[in-house]
Amino acid sequence: MIGGSLGTGKTPLVVVTTLAMTAFAANSVLARLALADDDIDPGTYTSIRLATGTLMLLPLIFLSRGLGPADAAKSGSWVSAASLFVYAAGFSYAYVTLGAGTGALILFGVVQAVILGTALVRGERPGWGTYVGLTAALAGLVYLVAPGVSAPDPTGSVLMVLAGAGWAVYTLRGRGGPDPLAATGANFLLSLPFCVALFVLVITFDGGRVSAHGILLATASGALASGLGYTLWYLALPLLTRAQAGVIQLSPVPLAAAGGLLLLGEPLTARLAAATVLILGGVALAVVTPDRRTN
């Protein structure tokens, strides 16, 4: 049953979590496959991704919660939907120029940095490892995007930073909600007016570009990697500690890099390798360091 318990056994949890993280990594590879070869413009890709994600999530919500579109929409918010749209649009436009692994590294690095930074601002008192890890992760991000021969495209990097910030805001707003799956479906639904506006702008000023291959990749990203991927993640999330969830969410980075290497022939540069060690190692240290107890 969708939304039901995974039980106490570790095997189902491992399987579901692995499938969810593979889906997250697949989003990067699918976007790069579609956009690098100009099979579809990024605005149309974004619109199809969120629309097909909605079409996948709403039936799942109906089957598990008995909620129709009108009732499901009440679980979301316009601010969260706007954050979701900013993430998806920035993600698509960034992958016109960024490699799959580089984009995933920037995205998930920014997400974790914003979430950890927000915790500090809100008065949480983490241990020293959190400060060291956050500093290392930020240094890795700066090193990755710093000017140089092997630096990623600056415009694509800025767009992916924006996407990461959007996803971090979306995550922070949804954390601890009573029904994250219903909220996700609702926010996908509420994001559609933004998609329509973007699509109109694309058609008006750019003319748009679309092919059957591009539509197929965008649909796979929306319905499978996003719709089903998020559903699996929300099945697993209640059974994970905060530290486990934080570390696990780093796994799409090497998976996306491997996908880019195998499917797209993208090179693994020394800069990307060093930045990966700094960012993944830093965030892992930050999320597993226990908070200091308050008196």
For residue 147, how many other CB atoms are within 10 A of its CB? 6
d(CA 194, CA 67): 23
Task: Check whether 150 has a pLDDT greater than 70.
Answer: no
Dihedrals phi, psi of 48, to nearest 5 degrees: -65, -40
Instruction: State the average pLDDT over residues 164-183.
Output: 81
d(CA 235, CA 245): 12
For residue 284, how many other CB atoms are within 10 A of its CB? 19
Dihedrals phi, psi of 128, to nearest 5 degrees: -60, -30
d(CA 90, CA 158): 9
pLDDT in tens, 189-213: 999 999 999 999 999 888 788 899 9
d(CA 122, CA 163): 23
For residue 7, what are its two tokens? 């039980």
Q: List CB contacts of 115: < 8 A, sequence separation 6 or more.
A: 168, 171, 172
pLDDT in tens, 43-79: 999 999 999 999 999 888 887 777 777 777 778 889 9
SS (H, E, C) 93-136: HHCCCCCHHHHHHHHHHHHHHHHHHHHHHCCCCECHHHHHHHHH
- Top mean-pLDDT range of 39-53, 54-68, 122-136, 219-233: 39-53
For residue 9, how many other CB atoms are within 10 A of its CB? 8
Q: List CB contacts of 180: < 8 A, sequence separation 6 or more.
A: 174, 234, 237
pLDDT in tens, 237-281: 777 766 667 777 777 888 888 888 888 887 777 887 888 888 878
Distance of CA 160 to the CA centre of its chain: 10
| pLDDT at res. 46 | 97
pTM of the model: 0.83
For residue 10, how many other CB atoms are within 10 A of its CB? 10
For residue 252, what are its two tokens? 């799409």
